[in-house]
Amino acid sequence: MVKLLINGEERQLDAAPDTPLLWAIRDELGMTGTKFGCGMALCGACTVHVDGIPTRSCVTAVEDVEGSAVTTIEAVSGKAAEAVQTAWEKLDVVQCGYCQSGQVMSAVALLSENSKPTDEDIDAAMSGNVCRCATYVRIRAAIHEAAKMMET
């Protein structure tokens, strides 16, 4: 039995302690916005926030986040999240969309820490998130756009 604080709710999980957080979220809790891409923290599709820090849930054991606050794409909120998702839609960033939950979570974490990221900051924060559709031009533009929105 593992206790998780996820999206503001406390949930009891009947899962082995070493179960990856990703599969607890998807298969135990039935929230499918967080995606499986590689299982080795190489692609970022599974990115969630653990106490606000972008974290690859596919290699994070559920026992390691007991006592921490986990946030997924389903519940990410606040000024940065609103700006990022609005900018993403405004610029039509998505193509297949499968990686975009993870992209959004990484971008929100970046803007929460750094409200005026440079291109180098974006490269550093976002290069762990793979997009096989290569929507990177728009991801970069949308992060700058979101930063602008957050100024107002």
Partner 1 sequence: MLAGLKDKTMVAAESPAETPRTNRRQFLKASAAVGAGLVIGVVLPQAGSKIAKAAAPTGAAAPVNPNAFVRIAPDNSVTVLIKHIEFGQGTYTGLSTLVAEELDADWSQMRAEHAPADATLYNNLHWGPVQGTGGSSSIANAYTQMRQAGAGARALLVMAAADLWGVPAGEITVSKGIVSHAGSNRSAPFGELAERAAQMEAPAEVALKDPADFTLIGKDVPRLDSRAKTRGEAIYTIDKTLPGMLTAVMARPPVFGATLTSFDDTAARAVPGVTDVVAVPQGVAVLAEGYWAAKNGRDALEIVWDETTGETRGSAEIMAEYKALADQPGDTARNDGAVEEALASADKVLEADYEFPFLAHAPMEPLDCVVQLGPDSCDVWTGSQIQTVDHGAATAISGLKPEQVRVHTLLAGGSFGRRATPNADMVSEAVSVAKAIDGRAPVKVIWTREDDIQGGKYRPMYFQRLRAGLDAEGNLVAWHHRIVGQSIVRNTPFAGGLIQNGIDKTSVEGADNLPYAIPNMAVDLHTTDVNVPVLWWRAVGSTHTAYSTEAFIDELAEAAGRDPVEFRMAMLKDHPRHAAVLKLATEKAGWGGPLPEGRSRGVAVHESFNSYVAQVAEISITDSGEIKVEKVVCAVDCGLAVNPDVVKAQMEGGIGYGLGAILHDAITLDGGRVEQSNFHDYVPLRINEMPEVEVHIVPSAEAPTGVGEPGTPPVGPAVANAVYAATGRRIRQLPMALHDLTGA
Place of tokens 């499918």: 32
List binders of partner 1 among 11-40 (CB under 8 A).
16, 19-20, 23, 26-28, 30, 32-40
Biggest CA pair distance of the chain = 46
Q: How far is the CB of 86 from partner 1 (least distance, A)?
A: 9
Please return the burial class of 67, using the count of CB atoms within 10 Å of its CB with bins 0-12, 13-18 and 19+.
Answer: exposed
Q: How far is the CB of 90 from partner 1 (least distance, A)?
A: 8
List binders of partner 1 among 54-93 (CB under 8 A).
72-74, 85, 88-89, 92-93
What does each C-alpha distance from 146 to 23, 29, 43, 57, 82 come to in angstroms?
A: 31, 31, 23, 25, 8
Q: How far apart are CA 137 and CA 1, in angstroms?
A: 44
Residue 21 structure tokens: 């957080």
Size of the site for partner 1 (CB under 8 A): 54
Is residue 122 involved in binding partner 1 (CB under 8 A)?
Answer: yes
> Where does this chain bind partner 1 (CB under 8 A)?
16, 19-20, 23, 26-28, 30, 32-40, 42-43, 45, 72-74, 85, 88-89, 92-101, 104, 122-123, 126-140
